[in-house]
Amino acid sequence: MYYLNKTKEELINELQESQQELISIMALSGNDISKYDITFLNKSLQKRITETHCSADGEYYSLLELNNNERDLFADSLHNSYNEFFRNPLTFAVLERIILPSLLLKKKTSKNKEIRIWSAACAAGQEAYSTAMLVEELRNGNDKKLNYRIFATDQCDLQVNEARKGIYSAAALNNLNLKRVKQWFTKHGDTYTIKPELQEHIDFSVFDLFSEHLSAPPASIFGDFDLVICANLLFYYKPEFQKVIIEKVGKCLANNGYLVVGETERDILMKHNYIEVFQQSGIFQKLARG
């Protein structure tokens, strides 16, 4: 009933004021949550309110203010690191059949024979390893002289450590066919470890896409990536911060380079002067400015 008497603008203003309070409380423990999207923050907030059995925002804010541990739990609830091998099948099919073969062909006739890839929010590494499998498989039937390097980064050091280890449960391998499991993993008891010959092409490091000092992963030295995968993180942020990330990865793209986003993030790129190279694939190129 309360909501029925309010205009949409009034409700948004209330939400923004309430979130300002939440942002200030979280800053007490050094957590900057001001970049997060308003709807995402509200959903996470409502979830914690239910889990802590608080009756309303106000009661939960008092708990947060007094309780360090709850502030840590709320901050954790904002970190989603869900990842799968070959997560979006259409994206990876287009990479396998169209984008990577054409890049390999292009590099074959170019002076610079290295394909450069950046997995910009790699979580526990599945995205980078999936891409490496594709390049390796295509290279085998093609030209071994072509080199490739994948720079895989994430803001979370725990995720980057997991990615470096490359150890996965059987359940994590669900999207992989048996041939790939045999070719790219070694089984140890109940777990599967990525083989070193795949790992050696990937450089894992911690990198925050909001870093004001660094424009690309330092290990890559100069960026110039043929392919950047920046998937399933844009939607957590407010539009002005999505823009910061898109501009940062866009500046690191080589001429005619490709930018990959998650399937629910395609609209965001379309608003930023990018064109999807294959419908629904989430694979984009920058529109040349007229």
Ligand X SMILES: C[S@@+](CC[C@H](N)C(=O)[O-])C[C@H]1O[C@@H](n2cnc3c(N)ncnc32)[C@H](O)[C@@H]1O
Give the 3-state secondary structure of residue 233. Answer: coil
Q: How far is the CB of 224 from ligand X (least distance, A)?
A: 20
Compute how many residues bind ligand X; rule: CB under 6 A: 20
Contact (Cβ atoms closer than 8 angstroms) between residue 187 and residue 98: no
Of these, 210, 214, 219, 256, which contacts ligand X (CB under 6 A)?
Answer: 210
Instruction: Tell which phi-psi region holds residue 26, choosing left (phi > 0), alpha (psi between -120 and 50) or beta.
Output: alpha
Q: How far is the CB of 90 from ligand X (least distance, A)?
A: 13
Angle of helix 57-66 versus helix 8-27 axis, rounded to 10: 10
- Would you count residue 269 as binding ligand X (CB under 6 A)? no
Q: How far is the CB of 109 from ligand X (least distance, A)?
A: 31
For ligand X, give the closer residue by CB, 217 or 257. Answer: 217
Angle of helix 38-51 versus helix 57-66 axis, rounded to 10: 80
Give the 3-state secondary structure of residue 201. Answer: coil
- Would you count residue 121 as binding ligand X (CB under 6 A)? yes
Please compute, for residue 207, the number of CA atoms within 13 A of its CA located in the half-sphere on the CB side. 24
Q: How far is the CB of 264 from ligand X (least distance, A)?
A: 11
For ligand X, give the closer residue by CB, 44 or 232. Answer: 232
| CB closest to ligand X, residue no | 121
For ligand X, give the closer residue by CB, 14 or 208. Answer: 208
For ligand X, give the closer residue by CB, 105 or 158. Answer: 158
Of these, 262, 274, 283, 284, which contacts ligand X (CB under 6 A)?
Answer: 262
Neighbour-count burial for 2-30, b at 16+ CB within 10 Å, e otherwise: eeeeeeeeeeeeebeebbeebbebbeeee
Site string for ligand X, 123-162 (x = CB under 6 A): x---x--------------------------xxx--x---
Q: What distances in angstroms separate CA 45 from CA 23, 29, 50, 64, 247, one per listed residue?
A: 12, 17, 9, 11, 29
Amino acid at 174: N
Which residues in 56-115 contact ligand X (CB under 6 A)?
79-83, 87
Q: What distances in angstroms separate CA 264 from CA 47, 94, 236, one per listed residue?
A: 22, 17, 11
Binding segment (CB under 6 A) for ligand X, from list 38-46, 120-128, 136-144, 275-283: 120-128
Residue written as tokens 């804010």? 61
- Would you count residue 31 as binding ligand X (CB under 6 A)? no
For ligand X, give the closer residue by CB, 199 or 232. Answer: 232
Q: How far is the CB of 207 from ligand X (least distance, A)?
A: 6
Of these, 231, 234, 249, 268, which contacts ligand X (CB under 6 A)?
Answer: 231
Sign of CA dihedral 107, 108, 113, 117: positive
- Residue numbers at the binding site for ligand X (CB under 6 A): 79-83, 87, 121, 123, 127, 154-156, 159, 208-210, 231-233, 262
